[in-house]
Structure 1
Amino acid sequence: MNKTKNAVFSYSFLFPSAILTLVLGIYPIAWAFRYMFYNYKGYGEARFTGLDNFSRVLHDSQFWDSVVNTFVYAGGKLLLSIPLSLLLAAILNRGLRGRHLLRAVFFMPTVISTAVMAVVFFTIFNSYNGILNQFLIKFNLTSSGIDWLGPKHAMLTVILVAVWGAVGNYMLLFLAGLQNIPEDVYESSALDGANKVQQFRYITLPMLGPVMQMVIMLAIITALKGYESIMVMTEGGPAGKTEVMFLYLYKLFFPVGGNGASAQVQEFGYGSAVAFVSALIVGIISLVYFYASKRMNRTD
């Protein structure tokens, strides 16, 4: 009897979480899975169309352009944020005066709302009266303002904003990994004549391997799924130059901009198919990286 009471008492704590998971997690996935096979605009009658939505996805050049943009965005973010966060972690792991304050400063962007962060950077990079252009013109670094959010520089700009928001989080993870490396390993290598560069290459990097794999996996997933700052800063423009996969998906469910003939229309059925294909792309890339990292561990 006591066991039954304990079980009921224990499951009563899990019940609210189970309900939330069912309502906010499982049900929306099941709903989207159903409407992948329907022509449904969010109102009126849903018409069954079989695999037509998936056929449309395969021939949707705008979607595949957004996939290419996603890879460019994710690749740029990873190539800049991972080395920079590792460098910052290595510097702040030393007995530097004020290092605790610096750690807090670098970590601060992680706790700031993405939308707020994007609005601030929009005012900085605004092509006409942005703070950065005013600074460059004032100090004669350029004769006219640079179109930071134009076709030529927009992708680089949103990548830099993404790096600014991610570095602090990855730095903290690398810092935790560095602090778990025994100090006597460095002392022994120093006695054997190893310099700082050799210690970093042959001791720090190999012993950071598990943390590095976790950080790269986290960075890949967040970069492939990221779109919030881009939506605020450029809405995918100009001319789709910064439209990434999940921003394109967002617009299918929540149309933005346009009036009259140019207004976008909600497409829940097609959007569900795009969501499935997008999730499949992210899943495949994550599995490939996971498999490759396991193979590297076996080789080591």
Structure 2
Amino acid sequence: MSSIVVRPMSAEEWPAYRDIRLESLADEPEAYGLTFAEATEWAEEQWRNRLSGRSVFVAEADGKLIGTANGAPHESQPGEYFLFGMYVTPTWRGRGVAETLIDAVSAWAWSQGARNIDLFVNSILPRALGLYAKAGFVRTGEIHTMPSRPGLEMWRLRRSLTEWEFAVRRVDAEVLYPLRRRVLRFNDPSRIVADPRDHETESRHYGGFVGPRLVVSASWYPSTSPVDPALPTWQLRYMATDLDVQGLGLGRTVIEVALEELRAMGVAQVWANGRDTALPFYDRTGWARVPGSEHLSPETQLPHTVIYRNL
């Protein structure tokens, strides 16, 4: 069975996004304000701007895009966030892809401070109305019409996110593999993201979740300290925060939850090979650098430095 991955998309992937977007406009023209004819005239810059100006998610199976959804703040209604451009290719409908895309955009909106997320849906699309009702959307009463599309009546729906929260919990290592690959291994399917120690009894794997969506991964393994081998020490590996929610403190929260548990177990020190681009984060959160430990990671060829933190 194919594994489905839902992830944020970058502007560099605009050709793939263009293809799935054009597919959606050809397949369900009544669902969107943009038309297929208009979109086919777009230049590269317009597609890049579309990806840069909002949070775009895609669903992927076996390297093929099978769905997409967009999220963005409303241009004239501060604090209001919208889901739009929702699409799943026909052969994948009814298999949970749409629900996962909705949750991904909702989690992104929640992380930006939204406590509701809205959308507009064509009132004559019963399948779409059923999907959104199942996901918890309700009508607000607002109806939008478009002069360029006579007869198109769009209902505004709203999903409450007030009960959502950021939660940290222990998970199986495999749950973290897609996020490890996406953030730490260039989203390259050929890269190995499993660690030989993943299934050892003492290894501990933590996931940070916004609602049902995994957004942070961190794995910890018993190890020898590079500073003082006599200390009970564990190593942090595969620390990753998803691309659209970085810089919000979610990664730090996951680390602190894990450190509290390790401290209670009698662990005296933790260490990691910190990617140089992440060193300012570790500097701010109580980690120290080991002088002269700079090196290139054999897995990514990116600069790293050995860091540690006493507990």
Same fold (TM over 0.5): no
Task: Choose between structure 1 and 2: higher strand proportion.
Answer: 2
Instruction: State the TM-score bracket (shorter-chain normalisation).
Output: under 0.3
Larger Rg, first or second structure (1 or 2): 1
Structure number with higher helix proportion: 1
